[in-house]
Structure 1
Amino acid sequence: MNQGLLGKLGMDSKMAMGYLGVLLFMMGDGLELGWLSSYLIDNGLSVQQSALLFSVYGFAVAIAAWLSGVLAEVLGPRKAMSFGVALFIAGTLVFLTFGLPTMNLAIMLPTYSLRGLGYPLFAYSFLVWLTYYAPAERLGTAVGWFWVSFAGGLNVLGAYYSSFALSYLGELKTLWSALVFVTLGAIIAISLNKDKESNRRKFNSKAEALKYISKGITIAFERPKVGLGGIVRTINTAGAYGFVVFLPAYMMEIGFTRTEWLQIYGALWSSNVIFNLIWGIIGDKFGWRNTVMWFGGVGCAVFTAALYYTPFFLGANYMAATLVAICFGACLAAYVPLSALIPSLAPENRGAAMSILNLGAGLSTFVGPALVGLFIGSVGTVGIIWIYTGLYLISAFMMKFVTLPKKIETETVDTSSNMPVVQ
């Protein structure tokens, strides 16, 4: 693939290896998402215990996601990413050696959480790197490519790989194989990426650096729109992370096989990958906020309900369920412009603003499963679906208030068309 083609696709050639590394790393991280919960339940854990494991993991993800933005500036993206890789590998080794074979929650909770600390430091530190590197008029496209890489590895390649690997390797060996993808992705993204981090923030002392870390929280109060963006980002993937706890069991009760479910799940995220880039480009041209509000919030609300009611009324109709999953994945991607909008609200503190956005991304992995654990017993599957539907509508309403200052809005121009970006 030559530079001319990369340019036409909106990808800067200097960051191409970073995107590839993120894709491979996240493939290793996410290959169990579509089936681990059902495996745990089949091997002795309750739905609530499985939800607890994913919720504690999500809390660890939230902490690491918050820290990733400021640590990427304090340490530099490469060092922050390397630290994340080390945590992920350490957690995986202990989780698979001592935790999963014994189904001992006392071991599983801390070691699976250690994995959760690892991947945000790797992936979201690269995202911070990207927000400094990419020019403002191409930032939506640049972060769109990041989310293509992120979701393509985490939810598409991981799911499809598992749908084939499980039959040949079994569950434990499939999980062990994740280390191959993680290691390869880390080497490519950290060692081979060409940008030299020229925009890394400089600190005069350790005290100044530590003070800046606190900025990753205080900026949400100094810039309330940044805080609102973090809440919207939490809602964005809360449903998707909650689905993996209870939806596989529901689909199999309807009549789908595990392989069919994994392929439906893979189709959802395949659509998401494609639309990550499409919405990034559309957001650059026609408005980041409007894209998130209408196609993200309202669209996700509609198709969240459809994920439940389509198989409820049509039974194990593979094509119908796949089509709905594709539509949900496309709408889920419409939140991508948040990654351009939020740091633009605080251009002098992009890393801190990204920390809030990353915290929201991490919290979604906690909130989604936690809602299942808290309410599945009382409201059932249909009740959980309507909780998520309501949250998506709330996120759409909140986006009415997340607007760029007029000065920044008029400066954010698509250079290819000279059209001002209307937020």
Structure 2
Amino acid sequence: MSSKKLLFGFMPVPLIWGYIAIAIFMAGDGFEVAFLSKYITNLGFSPEQASNVFTVYGLTAALAAWGSGVIAEIMKPQRSMLLGLMIWIVMHILFMTLGLGLGNYWFMLLFYGIRGFGYPLFIYSFIVLIIHNVPENKISTTMGWFWAAYSVGLGTIGGWLPSETNVLIGMDGTLWLSLAWVAFGGFLGLFALRHVKIDEAKARLPFKEKLAELSLTVTMLYKNKYIFMTGLIRVINTVPLFGVAIFMPLYLEGDPNHNLPGFGFSNAEWQQIWAVFLTITIFTNVFWGIMGDYIGWLRQVRWVGCFCGIISCLSFYYIPLYFGHNYWMAMVPALLLGITVAAFVPLTAVCTTLEPNHQGAAISIYNLAASLSQCVAAAVISIVIRPLGIEGIVWVYSGLYVFAGILTYFIKVNQPKMQRKLKTA
């Protein structure tokens, strides 16, 4: 690709439209994040049952993410994006009509769970296009922009807009509106990226060899211990992010049916707090993506992501506890998490650098870890909320960050830009 077609010297121009499509797609996908657990409990189901819906969704999303990198390479990214989009649209309609519409818990689990296969195939296939079209020493920077687009959708649009539409058209109407956003973003991306190319060697492999390539998503986990440890860190990275989306509406707003008194916050106030968090990550993803290329990938993950992240986790419980219904103080944990959670951006670059000859499989493992994060977050809530309450949940999340910080000391990876600096020093 000629330099005339590159933006900022490293980003192919068609990818810009891909970022925009990701933002729109994730806005629709994220409309429900901050209120679906409350919606389900309002139907008469328990917090544990609401968490179970998210747990099943997280498991299926993890399975889709696990194979997404390799699938994108062996069937071409645009085709796997189309597959993911179709799954999302069909299953969302069934979830709305037969699950929530009928108040049928098992249909909720089934269709929301199957919908979980959709978004990983769509957005993570786009990552394959990024990896194949930018220089190696700019992967962290470019992934920072990817997660910024993700946050624009999930946070700025997906967070703020539902706080208004829930009042105007109700939660049910907002969930139908999400379908339109996902469809528009999905087809925009497919149109804009139709001519973006990758090395199609793996797409031309015989079926048997494609299966062998797919099997790397399993064998790489035990053959490359550094990939395995990086995957564990990526799982832990966003556990608090998904966790607070589930338990904070119950904690701040209260749920007398389940012995949660709350602090007098409205659902609109919580959604605005959630939107502030995700809006902050637009900027912090870009910032830490760039900084990671300069100060060191794992050094940044260790100190900013893990050890500073402990403070952000605990603040979600203790700040409301001490300040009560104080809207501005409730913003503080959101701001802190927005800064720390984005510091893990360089982990994509760590994975692909550790396995330069099998980047699709490495991305698949990274994507598996990213999706397992949501599952782990929900599972911890299901197990811990009854015996230990919200306080126990945030301490478990903090303990996971301690573990992740320790793991960074055992991973050995050669960061390209850092290595060049050492050679010229």
Class of the TM-score when normalised by the shorter of the 2 chains: over 0.9
* Corresponding letter in the other structure for 2:417: V
* Corresponding letter in the other structure for 1:172: D
**What SS class does the counterpart of residue 33 from structure 1 fall into?**
coil
**What SS class does the counterpart of residue 197 from structure 1 fall into?**
coil
In structure 2, distance between residues paired with 1:200 and 1:122: 19
- The 3 A distance-change label for structure 1 pair 200 and 285 is farther
Give 1:136-155 correspondences, 5 Å limit.
136-155=136-155
Q: 2:299 maps to what in 1?
A: 290
**What SS class does the counterpart of residue 121 from structure 1 fall into?**
helix
1:401 corresponds to 2:410? yes
Give 1:1-40 correspondences, 5 Å limit.
7-8=7-8, 11-40=11-40
Q: 1:199 maps to what in 2?
A: 199
Contact 2:129 2:196 in 1 (8 A): no
* Corresponding letter in the other structure for 1:167: V
1:379 corresponds to 2:383? no
In structure 1, distance between residues paired with 2:50 and 2:148: 28
1:125 corresponds to 2:129? no
1:242 corresponds to 2:243? yes
Give 1:105-120 correspondences, 5 Å limit.
105-120=105-120
* Corresponding letter in the other structure for 1:369: A
Q: 1:100 maps to what in 2?
A: 100
In structure 2, distance between residues paired with 1:21 and 1:364: 24
- The 3 A distance-change label for structure 1 pair 215 and 78 is same
1:210 corresponds to 2:214? no
Match of 1:256 among 258, 261, 265: 265
Contact 1:137 1:414 in 2 (8 A): no
**What SS class does the counterpart of residue 404 from structure 1 fall into?**
coil
- The 3 A distance-change label for structure 1 pair 326 and 357 is same
Match of 2:364 among 318, 335, 355: 355
* Corresponding letter in the other structure for 2:405: A
- The 3 A distance-change label for structure 1 pair 259 and 414 is same
Say what the alpha-carbon RMSD is for the aligned residues. 2.1
Greater Cα offset, 85-94 or 193-202: 193-202
**What SS class does the counterpart of residue 348 from structure 1 fall into?**
coil
TM-score (norm 1): 0.94
Q: Unaligned regions of 5+ residues in structure 2, if any?
A: 254-261
1:63 corresponds to 2:63? yes
1:413 corresponds to 2:417? yes
TM-superposed deviation, 1:11? 4.7
Contact 1:15 1:195 in 2 (8 A): no
Q: 1:220 maps to what in 2?
A: 221
Question: Per-residue displacement from partner, 1:155-212 (whole Å, max 9, x unpaired)?
Answer: 3311111011111111111111112111111122111126522323434311110111
Contact 1:72 1:128 in 2 (8 A): yes
Q: 1:345 maps to what in 2?
A: 354
Question: Per-residue displacement from partner, 1:249-293 (whole Å, max 9, x unpaired)?
Answer: 111111211111101111111111210110000001111111111
TM-score (norm 2): 0.93
Q: Unaligned regions of 5+ residues in structure 1, if any?
A: none
TM-superposed deviation, 1:413? 2.2
Contact 2:55 2:378 in 1 (8 A): yes
Contact 2:78 2:193 in 1 (8 A): no
Contact 1:18 1:193 in 2 (8 A): yes
Aligned length, in residue pairs: 413
* Corresponding letter in the other structure for 2:139: L
Contact 1:145 1:277 in 2 (8 A): yes
* Corresponding letter in the other structure for 2:39: Y
Taking every aligned residue pair, what percent have the same amino acid on both sides? 34
Contact 1:10 1:141 in 2 (8 A): no
In structure 2, distance between residues paired with 1:286 and 1:319: 33
- The 3 A distance-change label for structure 1 pair 110 and 66 is same
**What SS class does the counterpart of residue 413 from structure 1 fall into?**
helix
**What SS class does the counterpart of residue 133 from structure 1 fall into?**
coil
TM-superposed deviation, 1:98? 1.2
- The 3 A distance-change label for structure 1 pair 421 and 244 is farther
In structure 2, distance between residues paired with 1:179 and 1:35: 16
- The 3 A distance-change label for structure 1 pair 169 and 9 is farther
In structure 2, distance between residues paired with 1:421 and 1:340: 20
Q: 2:374 maps to what in 1?
A: 365
Q: 2:339 maps to what in 1?
A: 330
* Corresponding letter in the other structure for 1:32: E
Contact 1:270 1:326 in 2 (8 A): no
TM-superposed deviation, 1:349? 0.5
Contact 1:15 1:194 in 2 (8 A): no
**What SS class does the counterpart of residue 347 from structure 1 fall into?**
coil
